[in-house]
Amino acid sequence: MRVCAFCGMAEKKIPSWVVMESQSCMAFLDNNPVAPYHTLVIPKAHFENILDVPRSVLQDVTEMTRQVSLLYQQKLGFDSFQIFTNAGPHSAQSVWHLHFHVLPRINGDSIKFQATPMPELVHQYPEMLKRLQ
Is 90 noted as a catalytic residue in this protein? no
Q: Measured between alpha carbons, how far is 60 from 83 in angstroms, rounded to an integer?
A: 15
Catalytic-labelled residue, pool 38, 90, 97, 99? 99
Give 114's contacts (C-beta < 8 A, 6+ positions apart).
none
CB contact at 8 A, 103 and 13: no
Catalytic annotation, residues: 99
